[in-house]
Amino acid sequence: MAQNEQNRPVPPWAGEMEEGDFISYAPTYEAGKYFHLFHQGKYRDASGTELKYYCYDPDEGADEKKRLPLLVFLHGTGNSLVGDLCINYTGAEFYATEKYQKSMGGARILIPVANEYEGEDGRTAGYWSPEYLEPVHALIMDHIRARQDQVGPVFLFGNSSGATFVLRLMDNYMDDFDAVIPVGSAALPDDEVLDAYDAKGKYLFFAMGRRDEFHPFEETVAPRIPRLERMKHCFLYTPEWVRNGDKGVASINFGVEMGQHCLVNPVHCNLLFDDGTPMDERLPDGMTGWIARTAAELAGEQGVQ
C-alpha cells in the first residue's frame, strides 16, 4: 500500500486479492476538466414536470448531413445533489472529449437530471422512479426532434439506480431506442422482454461487477447469464474485480464500502487502463469502439448513410 494511503479504511475483501494486486482508492482521471463542453438547460413536459439537463452537441465543424449517435446518460441516486459534478458521476464527461469523440466517429450527449432532494430523515428522495418515465422520454424525443435528421442510433447509459431506470425506459419505449447499457443494476428484464429485444434488433451491454456490494451477483444475475448469452446482441461485461485506470482494485468508502459497485468509473475510463491496454480483451478499443461498431451495424440494418 502506498505510504499516503496508510490511513484509508481496509475493505473487507482485501485478503481475497491475488498476489501482486493492490488497492486503488480513487479513479485516476480528474473530474471537471470538460464540464465547459456541456450546455445546461431546463425542459418542461406537457404535464408540467420540469427537468434540468446537460447536453453536448459536436456541431462545430461537424458534417450536418451525418447522423451521429445520441448517448443518453442517467445518474445514480443522490448524484444530482452535487451540481455539475453530476456530469462526471454519470460517466458522461470524457465521452465529450476529442479523443473519445474521434474513437466513436462523433456522438451527441444528453444527461437528464432527476429532481432529487434530501428528505427530513436525511435520505435522498425524488430519485429515478416510474413517475419519471414519461417526462424523461419526452425530453429525449424533443431533444431528437430539435436536431431533425442529425441524430442516429440512441444509446441509453445508466449508473446504479439510473441503470435500472434505463432498462425500464427500454421496456416501455423500445421502438424509440436502439441500445441500452446498464451499469451496476441487477434489474434485468424478464425473458419475454428479452425476446422483444431480439425481435426488434435491440442491443444490450450489461455491465456489473461480480463483487458488487449492493447486488449479490450469484443470486441475482448468474442464473440469467445463459439466457443473456442466447440473445442476438448482448455483450456481458462482468469482471471479477472492478479496477481503476492504474489497474488497482477499486475501493470507495462513503461510510459503506462500494468500490465494486462503482463500475461506472472504469466505463468512464473507456474500459481501458491508463497504459492503453483493455480491461477486457474482447474490447481492444474500449467502450467507444463498441459504440462505433454497434452504431455502424444499426445504420446498416436501417439503411442509413
pLDDT in tens, 153-191: 999 999 999 999 999 999 999 999 999 999 999 999 999
CATH architecture of 31-116+126-302: 3-Layer(aba) Sandwich (3.40)
- Exposure string of 99-130, with b = 16+ CB inside 10 Å and e = fewer, is ebbebbebbbbbbbbbebeeeeeeebebbbee
Q: What is the pTM of this model?
A: 0.94
* Mean pLDDT along residues 268-277: 98
Identify whether the C-beta of residue 139 lies closer than 8 Å to the C-beta of residue 43. yes
What are the CA-CA distances from residue 304 to residues 79, 141, 152, 153, 300 (Å)? 36, 19, 8, 10, 6
**d(Cα 103, Cα 91) in Å, to the nearest integer?**
16
Within 8 A by CB and 6+ apart from 248, the residues are 21, 22, 23, 24
**E strands, 136-258, in order:** 151-159, 179-183, 203-207, 234-237, 249-250
**d(Cα 71, Cα 111) in Å, to the nearest integer?**
8
In sequence order, the β-bridge partners of residue 155 are: 71, 179
Residue 65: the pLDDT is 64
Identify whether the C-beta of residue 110 lies closer than 8 Å to the C-beta of residue 92. no
Structure-block grid coordinates of residue 134: 414519461
* Mean pLDDT along residues 38-43: 97
**d(Cα 180, Cα 92) in Å, to the nearest integer?**
14
Structure-block grid coordinates of residue 65: 448531413
> Residue 16 has what DSSP assignment?
G
* Unique residue bearing C-alpha cell 446537460: 54
Identify whether the C-beta of residue 298 lies closer than 8 Å to the C-beta of residue 200. no
What are the CA-CA distances from residue 175 to residues 118, 172, 197, 262 (Å)? 35, 9, 10, 30
Categorize the per-residue pLDDT at 60 as very low, low, confident or very high, splitting at 50, 70 and 90. Answer: low
pLDDT in tens, 96-113: 999 999 999 999 999 999
Q: Is the pLDDT of residue 3 over 50?
A: no
Residue 5: the pLDDT is 59
Average pLDDT, the chain: 93
pLDDT in tens, 194-249: 999 999 999 999 999 999 999 999 999 999 999 999 999 999 999 999 999 999 99
| Sheet containing 39-44: order of strands | 39-44, 50-56, 108-113, 68-74, 151-159, 179-183, 203-207, 234-237
Among 45-59, 152-166, 280-294, which stretch is predicted with the lowest mean pLDDT?
45-59
Structure-block grid coordinates of residue 84: 455539475
